[in-house]
Structure 1
């Protein structure tokens, strides 16, 4: 088949379908035309796939048909309502559905931090493994506190946001392998424990907890969520239950991607707190209070909206009708 000639003949039909899907309102005749044109374009796509598959053309027609199908089904939902439904139902329900995984990561990590901090405090000689006495003193006197205020707040917030999301994305993207998640958690536990033990031993516990608590509670919880979700993805193919390994992995993978999108917003909040609240001139109790308030608000969000949506059947996965869609590949 001469693909160029075929495209030249059929393009007016595709353009007509595109025009119909973009109209705010359709008359009865136009609605009938939309359905008829949709069926013809679906036939064109089938012909192209079977005789002269072209990745870009298949992608264009697939997207066009998806929009036309949504239009024909009568969906007029605005983008804002979609965003509202995601943050009001899909995201919190996904967090609630995976709660035992990330709550386990949270508990194990906090216990590990406390145990490791105590061990370092009980073995002061280990401090020399992390720097010279001069470097340690510099950290205690200046570096730890200055870290939060040495850069402009806006650029610091952006840097914190991207760095934290990189760690969260690593846990989710490589969660299927299991070990990378454990490695990220171990690094986080060790880093916090070492810094805490040094600050506490040198009588600067108030500075440490006063600076790390405002943003750290939600920030670390986001990391634990991503770790729990990543481990859930790993477990989905190790123990798929009554489903095939691919079905189980696909289901948990879609949910994980949905959670990752929500974490972008949560980590943005933590970045703003770390840049504008942590180094601010507010009293320590006020800064810590803001951090605790936001952290408790997160749990309230998950265990109220998330639980309601979960009990209503929401699991954070895409709609049932969309689960068989596949993306065209070259």
Structure 2
């Protein structure tokens, strides 16, 4: 893989001539990887672990090639704007697949089959929740990554995506806590 990469060609952006096509292809591929990481959970998590590790090795190998050539700053400027959202979504999908495998091995007091089916349903909801993240990451990768924006602006965009993702997570966590409080109040009304 390292022999096929020429870091010296990354100084110039690809241009945005075919951005809609590139963006669509990227979104489709990333959603496919997420679905495969999720579906691989039926292999008791082994297939999911393999997919996550192999994809991590690819990113790591690319980072190492660019670091050795002194182009890490350029590499991360092209990866982080879309990568923060994209990798988070892939981790969520992979976690959903691993959760299914985990629940098969650790069903608790429930029958193994029932627990696995319940965890598959919960995991599918997580997977569906990643689709908008992949759409946003694909749009960023199709339009911002190849653009002629300065590397500093790309880093600012990456920081913005990180802040937005963190706020989205905190908003969801707050809603879950509120929902649990409301559910608890309904089950145990105060007298």
Equivalent in the alignment of 1:235: 102
1:164 aligns to what?
30
Which one scores higher on RCO, CA 8 angstroms, separation ≥ 6?
2
Q: Does the aligned pair in 2 maintain the 1:222–1:266 contact within 8 Å?
A: yes
Query: TM-score normalized by structure 1?
Result: 0.51
- Contact 1:230 1:256 (8 Å CA) reproduced: yes
What secondary structure does 2:149 align onto? Answer: coil
* Per-residue CA distance 1:197-239 (angstroms, 9 max, x = gap): 1111112112111111111111111111111111011111110
Task: Find out whether 1:221 has 2:52 as its counterpart.
Answer: no
Question: For this pair of structures, how many residues does the alignment match?
Answer: 180
1:304 is matched with 171
Q: How does 1:64-213 map to 2 (within 5 A)?
A: 130-131=2-3, 135-136=4-5, 139-142=6-9, 144=10, 149=15, 152-177=18-43, 178-213=45-80
2 CA distance for matches of 1:151 and 1:165? 23
Verify the 8 A CA contact 2:13 2:148 in the aligned structure 1: no
The 3 A distance-change label for structure 1 pair 284 and 255 is: same
Q: How far apart are 1:308 and its partner, in Å?
A: 2.4
- Using the size of structure 2 for normalisation, the TM-score is 0.85
Q: 1:150 to 1:183 in 2, by over 3 A?
A: farther
Is the radius of gyration larger for structure 1 or structure 2? 1
Question: Partners of 1:183 and 1:166 in 2: how far apart?
Answer: 15
Superposed CA deviations along residues 221-268 of structure 1, whole A, max 9, x for unmatched, are 111111111101111111011221122112211111112222111100
In structure 2, distance between residues paired with 1:193 and 1:256: 27
Aligned mates of 1:145, 1:310 — CA distance in 2 = 46
Cα RMSD between the aligned structures? 2.1
Flag as ranges the 4+ runs of structure 1 deviating above 3 A.
Answer: 144-151
Within 2, Cα distance between the matches of 1:176 and 1:313? 29
Matched-pair contact (CA < 8 Å) for 2:16–2:143? no
- Match among 289, 294, 298 for residue 161 of structure 2: 294
Q: CA deviation at 1:304?
A: 2.5
Structure 2's unaligned 5+ residue stretches are 182-191
Structure 1: distance between partners of 2:136 and 2:14? 16
